[in-house]
Structure 1
Amino acid sequence: MHDDFAANLRLLCSYYPSIADVCRRLSINRAQFNRYLSGRYRPRNVALRQICTFFGVKEDELAMPHETFQTLVQAGRKAAEQVPAGEPAWPAALWTRGSEGMERYLGRYFEYYRSMAQPGKLLRTLVCLESRGDGIVYQRTERLQPRPGGRPCHNRYEGVALKLAERIFLIDHETINGHELTQTILFPSFQSRVSRLSGLKLGVADNSERMPCCVRVVYERLDAQMTLRQALSQCGLLAAEDPALDPQLLEAVHNDISPGEHHFRARFL
């Protein structure tokens, strides 16, 4: 039994219209989520991280004694409510305005770009955009190659996405080691169905050099039927000219500068 965990989870759910609404936002089966709420089961690692990211809490906080956790949550909500009415802090105002028109972009994507740490390789990561409160958040997961005989390890980034003046801005931070911020700017899609988005990514090479780099990037929307496990299994380093990939995609992430260009520029697909 996990009484404190279940009580804490029920408290967080109480700030939403219904349990069904929470399950829909989390994409978690209602019957399975009810088992967590009853204390009969505790979520496994992937589901637990998903729940913590959604509610904005840490795993160890969710396991606190219920009275302690309740005080923590109430203190956080009280601080949020102290912003004067009609005078929101500019990040809050930007957060709300930047979510307008973002509904059509929610979902999962493969992200492709030339690896900053391993030149000559192409990196495929998984990005999940979802609505939270009045804004849009996302998680980006890098699947790193295992050592011989080992298992793959992951880097996870959490961030916010905003659409401002016909550009999509994504800013995130690395959550495991806390050693990187990245920014991505994408062109929106002007087609009826969002399939691919292109733009630029600015970050730091994940090696001892830690060289700031800018690369072209493509987001490819995934079929809703693909499971999270299936998507993650396809992430990792690829050959720079992988014949299994669409030549148009490979061309879109090629980091060249055309004659007459004075800056490294994004390109439409």
Structure 2
Amino acid sequence: MHQDLHQNLRLLCSYYKSIAEVCRRLGINRPQFNRYLSGQHKPSPNTLRRICEFFGVDEQDILLPHGQFQRVVDVRPKPGDQPNQEDSSLQEHLDWLDQGARGDVDIYLGYYYEYYQSMSAPGKVLQNLVCLERRGQRVVFQRTERMRATTNEPPCHNRYQGIAYLLTDRLFLVDYETLNRHEITQTILFPSFRNRVTRLTGLKIGVSDNSERMPCCARVLYEYLGQSVVVRKALANCGLHDLDSGQIDASIRDAVRNDMAPDEYLFRARH
């Protein structure tokens, strides 16, 4: 019974180190899977779907006569090789970016306050702490949000991890939220044209951190703090502020206003 199916399964399994590895990754116990391999039983429709998704083949293909199935599988990437090929491709893209990035990005290493109008709390300015540092050949960063639900509750911290590249004359930062992993943001900044880094301005794109999850774009300002800070004290200044709050310098408030001039047809960053 199910002669072609069990032979086709054996062929697919041959691309992996062992039957035990396939069973472990599929979440199917070995005795049951052995019955499929021997042709004693045919998997249920749900189990067959899981098997096909794991091996990367179509349900109609796995039921083909064995000789035909061999010819089909022979010209496709081998199931066991796919993760390595994907990893290699990703590494190749990162290597290309490394080669194209400017080496003088080190002048931007250190701590910053980040200011922009909150995407989830309209009319508020969000102040975060950002740290750029070198790890091997790359510059990585952590962005920390300090949020407080009510005045009676202790603040919670949202952390974002990312990578930074100085490409030609713009500084690109891409990060993701590490707790729930449900958001990626990109920030593009003008570099500093002075000997000493003080402030960087640009644009940030992301989604609002609420049930609406609205894609948003906002002007952003990075205020340089130095190579080292007392992190606890720096974080104590972070959080949501009213747009007219005295805790935020007037020049910073002006820099993060999201207005558009009559002759502007795209939302643009401003120096």
Instruction: Choose the corresponding residue for 1:178, options 172, 178, 181.
Output: 181
In structure 2, the partner of 1:166 is: 169
Aligned equivalents of 1:154 and 1:110: distance in 2?
15
**Contact 2:110–2:226 (Cα < 8 Å) also in 1:** no
TM-score, normalisation: structure 2: 0.65
**Which AA in structure 1 matches 2:143?**
R
Aligned equivalents of 1:148 and 1:83: distance in 2?
49
Cα root mean square deviation, aligned: 2.0
Equivalent residues, number: 186
Q: Quote the sequence identity (%).
A: 51
Aligned equivalents of 1:149 and 1:262: distance in 2?
44
Aligned equivalents of 2:136 and 2:228: distance in 1?
26
**Which AA in structure 2 matches 1:252?**
A
Larger radius of gyration: 2
Deviation at 1:241, TM superposition (A): 1.5
Deviation at 1:173, TM superposition (A): 0.4
Aligned equivalents of 2:135 and 2:228: distance in 1?
22
**Contact 1:216–1:266 (Cα < 8 Å) also in 2:** yes
**Which AA in structure 1 matches 2:93?**
W
Unaligned runs of 5+ in 1: 1-78
In structure 2, the partner of 1:117 is: 120
**Contact 2:132–2:140 (Cα < 8 Å) also in 1:** yes
**Which AA in structure 1 matches 2:248?**
L
SS state of the match for residue 102, structure 1? helix
TM-score, normalisation: structure 1: 0.65
SS state of the match for residue 146, structure 2? strand
In structure 2, the partner of 1:218 is: 221
Deviation at 1:99, TM superposition (A): 5.1
Aligned equivalents of 1:110 and 1:255: distance in 2?
19
**Contact 1:99–1:135 (Cα < 8 Å) also in 2:** no
What does 1:176-255 align with in structure 2 at a 5 Å threshold? 176-224=179-227, 226-255=229-258
Instruction: Choose the corresponding residue for 2:130, options 111, 127, 143.
Output: 127
Q: Name the CA shift for 1:93/1:250 in 2 (closer, same or farther; >3 Å).
A: same
1:31-52: CA deviation from partner (whole Å, max 9, x where unpaired): xxxxxxxxxxxxxxxxxxxxxx
**Contact 2:116–2:221 (Cα < 8 Å) also in 1:** yes
Aligned equivalents of 1:148 and 1:194: distance in 2?
35
Q: Name the CA shift for 1:214/1:113 in 2 (closer, same or farther; >3 Å).
A: same
1:170-197: CA deviation from partner (whole Å, max 9, x where unpaired): 0000000111000000000001100000
In structure 2, the partner of 1:97 is: 100
